[in-house]
Structure 1
Amino acid sequence: MDYNRARKNPTSFLSLTGVKVDLFDQILPFFKAAHDEYFHWHDVKGKKMPRRRSHCIQSNSPLATIEERLFFILTFLKNNPTQEYHAAGFDMSQQQCGQWIHTLSIVLRNAAGTAGMLPAETLAEFKKVLEEKGGEKVLYELIHDTTEREIPRPCDPEVQADFYSGKKKKHTVKNAVITTLTRLVLFVGATVPGKTHNKTIAETQYAFPYPCI
């Protein structure tokens, strides 16, 4: 999968990564800063170094630029392929792919936190987000729903039943999501089995601290 070629086609780039080229460029400086800080203290396997070290990307790395590394992790998170499939797309082994996914997921999360793009994950964090945006004095128009994505069928028959979604006719997991009308994600809930009803998720994972219409 070629980053430079994908970038030249905005429609394809959005489909592959879930973000437009201009947003990718906005994220990139935060990702680079988080990437450099991480690799000053860790190797690619996540092993902590005893002291801060200088770091530069090796020319023979399968992901030889910061842009390729951000592209790699975004395409994985957007499309949820098997590691074997994703590895083939970036000309690396499955083991290498697994290591990069683990490492760059941490880097991306750190970057999103620094950029203020990380959604709340608990009720307390969600209340704090609303308070920072104006508290009771602001009228919010929010969309709350769930995302649902397919997973491999569990081996245990009893576990299969918990994860089977009658709506999708597949084995899935769900996350509660709250967004603004402009698609800014404010909250992402804990992952639950696909059998769980959306109403149950809403009742157990979040509540609006102010009266709702």
Structure 2
Amino acid sequence: MLNIERALKQDRLLRALTGLNRKAFQSLLFAFTQVYEQTLTDKPRQRSVGGGRKARLRNAEDKLFYILFYFKCYPTFDLASILFDIDRSQAHHWTHRLQPILEAALGEKKALPERQINCVQTFIERFPGVERVIMDGTERPVQRPTDSEKQKLNYSGKKKRHTSQHLAAVNQNKQVLVLSQAREGKLHDKKFRIGRKVDRKYTRGDTN
């Protein structure tokens, strides 16, 4: 089982597991906790406090660590269940429950990447301080689909496994500015565009 407390105390380890250092993690935790507590008021408790099995993800800090770890490392639900000492169904439940909470927290901090940029002018208006951006495809492993056609579409010859693919636009500070919707792993990133008029490499001032 992962020792969350140990990871939170070591900056290098926390960055390796979640992609954030301690300062960034604590900053995001404040917004994440607020959004999570709002969801609790929308749904009344089904049992009294202290009832049921003792929670493994005990507080908002543990829950934020879990969902960040999931998106940083993309474990299968079986592996996540072992690492966090929970049932596979719970790993599935927490991932889908915490994802919109994380997205809302990142949105409040204006840290979410854009999903679509239609032209260079739109990019300049949205990111006025960015002088250079590099676009590239990134793949993450997914469980093998049961449908044979989906297996073919999601099989990546480059990774030799089934994947989903995103196209990301990153600035000189390695900040993801634009992130596309997931596409099938078979699709080559040269055919995968976020916007029709955004080139793979773009320098401010060059709009041709």
After TM superposition, the score normalised by the length of structure 1 is 0.80
The 3 A distance-change label for structure 1 pair 29 and 82 is same
Using the alignment, how far apart are the partners of 2:120 and 2:97 within structure 1? 27
- Give the residue type in structure 2 aligned to 1:11: R
The 3 A distance-change label for structure 1 pair 187 and 43 is farther
User: How many angstroms does 1:206 deviate by?
Assistant: 4.6
The 3 A distance-change label for structure 1 pair 145 and 60 is same
The 3 A distance-change label for structure 1 pair 4 and 206 is farther
Deviations 1:22-54 (A, max 9, x none): 211111111111111122213699xxxxxxxxx
Using the alignment, how far apart are the partners of 2:77 and 2:163 within structure 1? 18
Task: Specify which of 127, 132, 141 is matched with residue 133 of structure 1.
Answer: 127
The 3 A distance-change label for structure 1 pair 109 and 43 is farther
RMSD, aligned CA: 3.0
1:25 paired with 2:15, answer no
Task: Specify which of 194, 198, 206 is matched with residue 208 of structure 1.
Answer: 198
Give the equivalent residue in structure 2 for 1:4: 5
Figure out how many residues of one structure are paired with residues of the other and give that number: 199
The 3 A distance-change label for structure 1 pair 164 and 61 is closer
User: How many angstroms does 1:64 deviate by?
Assistant: 1.6
User: How many angstroms does 1:149 deviate by?
Assistant: 1.6
User: How many angstroms does 1:176 deviate by?
Assistant: 0.5
Give the equivalent residue in structure 2 for 1:143: 134
**SS in structure 2 at match of 1:208:** coil
Higher relative contact order (CA 8 A, sep 6+): 2
Deviations 1:136-171 (A, max 9, x none): xx6720011111122233333333222222222222
Give the equivalent residue in structure 1 for 2:110: 116
**SS in structure 2 at match of 1:92:** coil
Using the alignment, how far apart are the partners of 2:74 and 2:119 within structure 1? 27
Instruction: Answer whether contact 2:57 2:63 (CA < 8 A) is retained.
Output: yes
Moved more, 179-188 or 116-125: 116-125
Using the alignment, how far apart are the partners of 2:72 and 2:45 within structure 1? 22
- Give the residue type in structure 2 aligned to 1:103: R
Give the equivalent residue in structure 1 for 2:88: 94
> Where in structure 2 are there 5+ consecutive unaligned residues?
200-204
Task: Specify which of 151, 162, 172 is matched with residue 163 of structure 2.
Answer: 172
> Where in structure 1 are there 5+ consecutive unaligned residues?
46-55
Instruction: Answer whether contact 1:126 1:187 (CA < 8 A) is retained.
Output: no
Using the alignment, how far apart are the partners of 1:63 and 1:171 within structure 2? 30
Report percent identity of matched pairs: 27
Using the alignment, how far apart are the partners of 1:149 and 1:125 within structure 2? 27
Using the alignment, how far apart are the partners of 1:143 and 1:133 within structure 2? 14
Deviations 1:75-130 (A, max 9, x none): 11111112122122222222222221111111101000000001111225996563
User: How many angstroms does 1:193 deviate by?
Assistant: 1.1
